Structure 1
Amino acid sequence: MAGVGLLVLLIASGVTTSLDNALYDLHARLWRYTPDNNVVIVAIDLKSLDAIGRFPWPRSVYAQLIDRLTADGVRGIGMDVTMSTPSNDARNDALVASAIQRNGKVVLPVFAEAVHLGGQLQEALPISAIAQSVAALGQVDVATDADGRVRGAYLKAGLGSAYWPSLALALIQLGTTPSAALPGMHDPARNDTSPYLWMRDNYVLLRYAGTAGSFGSVSSADVLDGNVPAQMLKGRWVLIGATAEGLGDILQTPDSPMPGVEYQANVLESLQRGYLVTPINFLAQFLLAAALLTLPLLLYGLPVIGRRAPLLLATLALVLATCIGLLRACYLWWPPTACLAVIAVECAAWQWLMRERHR
């Protein structure tokens, strides 16, 4: 009973979260995969900045880029580039809107921002002339943990309620009926909505393909100049976004700094291949951990283990095996360190009690 009480305190307080994150990161480095080359990044890189000019670019440049990708027969385009304010030349807005409409499979980003410091949040949508031409809109909210690292993503988010799909999910859903059953842990407060709060739902952990540079990437300048063979782009998802460090769109993943557009590529690839990991909720964490707390009692009577250190080692090994087994086989993440800590404390307390009783 004391162990169960301690377990509740550890899980509810989040004291062991950093250890759980470290364990997940360690396992993720050994659980990478090779992308299928279905996702290509069209990078706003240093080469493009040198060729086209300083950022932000005129929207006529994006119009040319989209038309080139349309001619190459891409499957769909996700733009990690905001167009929430009118440009200085309205003709450029009209050009990019026409290019988006000609393609018919372009997704633009939505995000939340405060107009004034500390002010009320508002959704930053593309301007009306452009928004009317897109196939879909997708939110680009980044799930940053307390230590500043990005391990997961929210598949749904929005102001008041989580109704916007993520940019990657919006791309996947183009031309299909959205599935009601999405992976991810639900926000317990999702029904207590407020029109002034940015709500998130369907939180998933990412199985990163690797460090930055794991996905195929071509320079925007090369695409505009026609230097990229059409077969490299035909039938593939294309994500347009900044990779140059000076543009500020760099996220800190557990392995390395990564451009935001490559983070979106990881979400897109994981969605396609079913590699998204769902963290289990508090109740499931507690019930599984409480069940595993009985392991020392079940193993205690075995003649091989007896009252020696193998009891503790065998129990800890079984707990870790349960964690890794759920992750690998079911894509479910159960944080094990609270359970490991309680079992270690229980074993130490039992040994102390036995010594006191013998004395």
Structure 2
Amino acid sequence: MAGIGLLVLLIVSDLTVPLDNALYDLHARYWRYTPDDRVVIVAIDPKSLDEIGRFPWPRSIHAQLIDRLTTDGARGIGMDVTMSAPSNDPKNDEEVAAAIHSNGKVVLPVFAEAVTLGGSLQEALPVPPIAQSVAALGQVDAAKDNDEQVRGAYLKAGLGSPYWPSLALALLQLEHAAPNNTLLPGLHDPIHGDASPYLWMRDNYVLLRYAGPAGTFGRLSYVDVLNNRVPTNLLKDRWVLVGATAEGLGDILQTPDSPMPGVEYQANVLESLERGMLVTPLDFLRQFALAAVLLALPLLLYGLPGIGRNWVLLLISALLVLATCLALLRGWYVWWPPMTCLAVIVVEFVAWQLLMRDRRPAHG
């Protein structure tokens, strides 16, 4: 009973979260995969900035790029580019709106921001002429942990209620290539139904199996695509994500592997979602139930040939806990943080050793 109580305290306090994160990060470095070229990044890179000029560019430039991608037969376009403020020249907005409408499979980002310092959050949507032309909108919220590392993603988010799909999910939903809302993977927010309409709410949290560090996904320079210097077969029937990769554009996320442009983060979400490789963390009750069951391991092993209450018992128990964690992760894409269970087993083992050492035979 003391072990169960300690287990609850450790889970609720998050004391072992840094150790669990370190274990997940270590394992992820040996669990990478090779992208299969269904997702390609059109990068706003230094080369494009040199040839086109300082960013942000006139939206007529984006209109030309979208027209080029339409001609080349892109499967769908996710623009990780903000268009929430009107252009100085309204014709630029009209041009990009017309290009988006003509393509029919363009997703633009939505995010929350405070208009004034300390003010309430508002959703930043594309300007009306553009918003009316897009096939869908997708939120681009990055799921940062307490250590500022981005290990996962929220598939749904929104102001007051998580109704916006992520940019990657919105793209897949254009041709029904994604699971419906009831079948989406991810850890649910238990209080999102009672949220304030002024809070940015998130749901369906998943951990990512990153393909690798920044640069793993194929990149094409924005200016090369714009000027038709890229073979059509590199774009035809591909999911195309357009976004900044150049330093200084303020779109770099810290991942366990390396700093990564936001557009490549979206590429990891998109490919993992399409291939069913997103990892769902267990909620509190399931974490607790599994850990409570595994706390019985030392009792089950005790008394087996060659095993007593010694360090062999502790080692075998710890290895079985870690094996359970990795089996769930590799086999079912479920993340069970094992460090709380390991910590309780170690504490109980040490306490038993101390009790046995201090025990004295009774005198009659």
Alignment match, 2:290 = 288
The one-letter code sitting in structure 2 at the alignment partner of 1:36 is: D
Question: Which structure 2 residues correspond to residues 113-128 of structure 1 after superposition, within 5 A?
Answer: 113-128=113-128
Matched length: 359
Deviation at 1:307, TM superposition (A): 2.4
Question: Which structure 2 residues correspond to residues 66-85 of structure 1 after superposition, within 5 A?
Answer: 66-85=66-85
Alignment match, 1:203 = 205
The one-letter code sitting in structure 1 at the alignment partner of 2:208 is: L
Alignment match, 1:274 = 276
- Equivalent-residue separation in structure 2 for 1:105 and 1:201 (angstroms): 25
CA offsets 1:181-236 (integer angstroms, 9 cap, x no match):
10000001111121111110000000000000000000011001111000000000
Question: Which structure 2 residues correspond to residues 247-326 of structure 1 after superposition, within 5 A?
Answer: 247-326=249-328
Local SS of the residue matching 1:218: strand
- Equivalent-residue separation in structure 1 for 2:108 and 2:218 (angstroms): 21
Alignment match, 1:172 = 172
Deviation at 1:354, TM superposition (A): 1.4
Deviation at 1:308, TM superposition (A): 2.0
Alignment match, 2:57 = 57
- Equivalent-residue separation in structure 1 for 2:249 and 2:212 (angstroms): 22
Please state if 1:111 is matched with 2:114.
no
The one-letter code sitting in structure 1 at the alignment partner of 2:217 is: F
- Equivalent-residue separation in structure 1 for 2:357 and 2:225 (angstroms): 75
Alignment match, 2:20 = 20
The one-letter code sitting in structure 1 at the alignment partner of 2:32 is: R
Alignment match, 2:41 = 41
Local SS of the residue matching 1:34: coil
Local SS of the residue matching 2:154: strand
- Equivalent-residue separation in structure 2 for 1:199 and 1:76 (angstroms): 27
- Equivalent-residue separation in structure 1 for 2:138 and 2:309 (angstroms): 57
CA offsets 1:267-292 (integer angstroms, 9 cap, x no match):
00000100100000001001100110
The one-letter code sitting in structure 1 at the alignment partner of 2:230 is: V
Local SS of the residue matching 1:246: coil
The change in CA–CA distance for 1:178 and 1:135 in structure 2 (over 3 A counts) is farther
- Equivalent-residue separation in structure 1 for 2:167 and 2:236 (angstroms): 20
Deviation at 1:253, TM superposition (A): 0.1
Alignment match, 1:222 = 224
Instruction: Give the TM-score taking structure 1 as reference length.
Output: 0.99
The change in CA–CA distance for 1:178 and 1:35 in structure 2 (over 3 A counts) is closer
Deviation at 1:31, TM superposition (A): 0.2
- Equivalent-residue separation in structure 1 for 2:230 and 2:293 (angstroms): 57
Alignment match, 2:332 = 330
CA offsets 1:281-306 (integer angstroms, 9 cap, x no match):
00100110011001011111112212
CA offsets 1:83-114 (integer angstroms, 9 cap, x no match):
00100000000000000011000000000000
- Equivalent-residue separation in structure 2 for 1:25 and 1:186 (angstroms): 22
Alignment match, 1:351 = 353
Alignment match, 1:132 = 132
Local SS of the residue matching 2:193: coil
Local SS of the residue matching 2:116: coil
- Equivalent-residue separation in structure 1 for 2:195 and 2:358 (angstroms): 55
Q: Structure 1 vs Structure 2: percent identity of aligned residues?
A: 75
Deviation at 1:357, TM superposition (A): 1.9
Deviation at 1:37, TM superposition (A): 0.4
Alignment match, 2:234 = 232
Deviates more, 1:210-219 or 1:301-310: 301-310
The one-letter code sitting in structure 1 at the alignment partner of 2:238 is: R
The one-letter code sitting in structure 2 at the alignment partner of 1:138 is: G
RMSD between aligned alpha carbons? 0.9
CA offsets 1:6-48 (integer angstroms, 9 cap, x no match):
1110000000000000000000000000001000000000000
Please state if 1:101 is matched with 2:116.
no
- Equivalent-residue separation in structure 2 for 1:154 and 1:121 (angstroms): 18
The one-letter code sitting in structure 2 at the alignment partner of 1:77 is: I
- Equivalent-residue separation in structure 1 for 2:183 and 2:338 (angstroms): 27
